[in-house]
Amino acid sequence: RLIDVQLTQVTLLEGIELLANQLEADTALVGGTVIIGPADKLDRTRTDIVIQHQTLKDASSEQGQRRLFELFSGKSFRWDDLQTPRELVQSIGEGYKVEVTGLDLIPYDLWAAGEMIDVSAVEALMLAAGQFDLTCQWNEDASIVQLAPAPARLTIEKELMTNPAILAEVLPELSEEVPLADISVEGRRVRVIGSVAEQELIESRLRRNSNGEREPMPDQGPLAKRSFTLKTERTPAIAILRTLEAQGANVEYDLDVLTAAGVDLSQKVTLSLQKASADEFFQALCEPLGLQFEIEDRTVILTPKP
């Protein structure tokens, strides 16, 4: 289908979303790759990716655990015009030293040239095989993955904290907007069982006040007196810094100086911290980026390591 779109004064992501709207499709960022596709199929694929990542971390044998770093590391895959998706899936398996079985479930097709950027093993396999309503079943040491028909619906469970007044206001709307999601409430705690897209919609509604604006974050005091609990995988450092700013911290740096020193704030980092001090948190964040930090009250100043 050919479409003609003219865009001015919009960001790249806004332009992609407008393009997707023309196609009556949805968009998502998977790894470093922007995906455009049918909303329901894209949601199921994203949910499946979350489930498989968690399954690999929880269920892998000791040998499988040692392979997780490789499987979760981002790789890029390119393919030429007229390559079959079966060949692509097989090459993804070879790239991660994983044997892929069930390739016969992928129907014959010829794809136009394309590329996946900075995707994990699960993300790469699901972006290719998930288009044919397939999922991946991993063995204990994560050396073999079996393609199989995907369930009609996939869900994950999350627990959120919210203002009871906001919840009372938006809960009737949520029942209509996401009728398939299972929402249970206990005081300020909201337990949600639903797909990734449903979770995102519910979370966005619960974080807004009655005027449609985001709830202001309470002042959490000087950084040195805060504790940090965070578990995130392959998240751009700039996204973590933006979250800190949203929580009332001031993050100061000279982007030109950082760039000249070879520091890339879009670099993805993995953190697993439990009640860490501010020094421990920023040390874990800055070390892989080649940064040093200085904390002054509610401000952290980032500079390149000498």
176-235 pLDDT, tens digit per residue, is: 889 999 999 888 888 999 999 999 989 888 876 434 444 444 556 788 888 888 777 778
Phi, then psi, of 140 in degrees rounded to 5: -65, -40
Task: Summarize the confidence of residues 35-42 as an average pLDDT.
Answer: 91
Question: Taking the domains of the chain in order of start, what are their residue ranges?
Answer: 12-149, 156-206, 223-304
The CATH number given to 223-304 is 3.55.50.30
Task: Summarize the confidence of residues 46-59 as an average pLDDT.
Answer: 91
- Residue of 82, 87, 140, 134 lying closest to 113 (CA atoms): 82
Of the listed ranges 28-32, 127-131, 292-296, the least confidently predicted one is 28-32
How confident is the model at residue 277, as a pLDDT?
92
pTM, two decimal places: 0.66
Tokens of 300: 């952290």
How many Å apart are CA 199 and CA 216, to the nearest integer?
21
Tokens of 88: 């692509």
How confident is the model at residue 113, as a pLDDT?
94
Tokens of 101: 């079985």
33: left (phi over 0), alpha (psi -120 to 50) or beta: beta
DSSP class of residue 111 equals B
How many Å apart are CA 289 and CA 64, to the nearest integer?
28
How confident is the model at residue 212, as a pLDDT?
47
Tokens of 16: 């992609």
